[in-house]
Amino acid sequence: MRRLHLNYPTRTVEWLLLLAASFGAMAFTPCRHGTVHVSGVIRDASGAVLPGARVVCAATRWSDDCHSGSTQPYETVTDSSGHYDLAFPSGGSPLRVLHPNQALFQRPEAITMDTILSDRQHLDHQFRLYHVHGHVLGADSLPLPHGFVTYYPYYSGMFCGTGLPEATIKDGSFEALCQPYPEYVFWARISLSSYESIPYLHPHIAIQGDTTITLVFAGFDVRGTVRTRGGRPLPDAAVYASGPSASAQASTDSLGRYHMLLPNGTYDLSLSTPRREYQQSIHLGRSEISGPRQVDLNPEYIEWVGRIRDAVSGKPLDSIRVGAEASGPPYGSTAASTTDPDGRFRLYIHRGSRLDIHLNDLHAEGHPMPAADDYQQAWARIEQEFARVMHRTIKDVTAWSDSTLEILMEPIRK
């Protein structure tokens, strides 16, 4: 093999390398490429042209000197023949399309994930749907007659009110149409009261084409008793078990007993009660279920009692809403009480919880909101006119033991 020796002076080599780097930077700088035009035809899963589909892209719009820029969205809608034409600055990506039937096609599909640099490109796209035939069986392997299955791509998450597609279970079968995503969640539940103790199923299932799946509503018998302060049973409480592929809910009876069926797996257990002065949605730990089990629950409630007074007159304040809201995990866990005519309140808090205590005068609620630039300004006007005392928040209080709280609230100067 021959070796080629170039005897350029060192300084010359440095300049050649710098010049090459400069040309390379210019060649791959989107700012230098101007505007690109992408066109194509979008088709439905049936192959028919699809009008009304939104083609979207994000691209950087550069300043004239290429020293600064901002990313902006660009989009167009297909015409009656399914054709689209979109212009945007060079370097935009990815190019996606959203189907007009958002209930069936929940997520956008990628026309291309590549960076688009060339002046003109023609990129067509056809939506795809996979047909899923489902069987739903009970613990006895017999078809379950009625129920519903909500399904959605695993990574997209599930949100109430988003119009997720739902299939009806009839005589142990259901039909679903899925987009080409790696995994789907099938959230199945039985609608007959005789199956109240059967868990909700929500397994993650890989869908790579037309397929048949089977969901089996079966589990191990899990029983227990919920007891609170002094070992007293806690009636009418809701016990929740949440796992990666199944969940269940059961109510306690007058003796604090509950019963549910859970498939094999690990579950987070939580508790809520109908009495709002008890902290809601408290996490009680994790339990491994691999067979029938007795799982007794003993939430460690501590008692906060207190009195709220006017800071100037010292008079007790009735109708003050006392809300304790978790400032640490589990977020959203709350307890609430309203002061009586003597200004007294009572809360039951799970030991170790970190909470923010919010105090609000109920005399300020129920009035129409005045015109204002934002909500806080409008609420300040309402409070100034109708409330007796200013709202107050006590931040980040940790509940370790039974406590008596004496709280003062500043009166509002009229």
Residue 372 has pLDDT above 60, yes or no: yes
Do residues 408 and 390 lie in contact, with contact meaning Cβ atoms separated by under 8 Å? Answer: no
82 vs 69, more confident? 82
pLDDT of residue 30: 52
- Which class for 2: exposed (0-12), middle (13-18), buried (19 or more C-beta within 10 A)? exposed
pTM: 0.67
230 vs 211, more confident? 211
Sheet holding 54-62, edge to edge: 69-77, 54-62, 95-98, 109-112
The secondary structure of 300-365 as a DSSP string is -EEEEEEEEEETTT--B--SEEEEEEESSSSTT-EEEEE--TTSEEEEEEETT-EEEEEEEEGGGS
pLDDT of residue 22: 38
Question: What's the mean pLDDT in 16-35?
Answer: 48
**Structural domains in the chain plus CATH codes:** 30-126 (2.60.40.10), 130-217 (2.60.40.1120), 220-294 (2.60.40.10), 301-409 (2.60.40.10)
81 vs 102, more confident? 81
Q: Quote the distance between the C-alpha of residue 377 and its chain's center.
A: 30
Q: Could you identify the residue written with the tokens 């491994």?
A: 288
130 vs 182, more confident? 130
The secondary structure of 7-57 as a DSSP string is ---HHHHHHHHHHHHHHHHHHT-GGGG-EEEEEEEEE-TTS-B-TTPEEEE
> Residue 136 — very low, low, confident or very high, per pLDDT cuts 50/70/90?
very high
Residue 294 has pLDDT above 80, yes or no: yes
Cis? peptide before 330, omega within 30° of 0: yes
Least confident piece of the model among 144-148, 173-177, 313-317, 358-362? 144-148
4 vs 196, more confident? 196
Do residues 263 and 222 lie in contact, with contact meaning Cβ atoms separated by under 8 Å? Answer: no
Radius of gyration (C-alpha) of the chain in whole angstroms: 31
* Mean of pLDDT over the chain: 85
pLDDT of residue 29: 54
Do residues 314 and 337 lie in contact, with contact meaning Cβ atoms separated by under 8 Å? Answer: no
317 vs 155, more confident? 317
Least confident piece of the model among 60-74, 114-128, 155-169? 155-169
The tens digit of pLDDT for each residue in 217-274 reads 888 999 999 998 888 999 999 999 999 889 998 999 999 999 998 999 999 999 999 8
Query: Where do the DSSP E strands lie in 44-116?
Result: 54-62, 69-77, 83-89, 95-98, 109-112
Q: Could you identify the residue written with the tokens 């094999």?
A: 264
Residue 1 has pLDDT above 50, yes or no: no
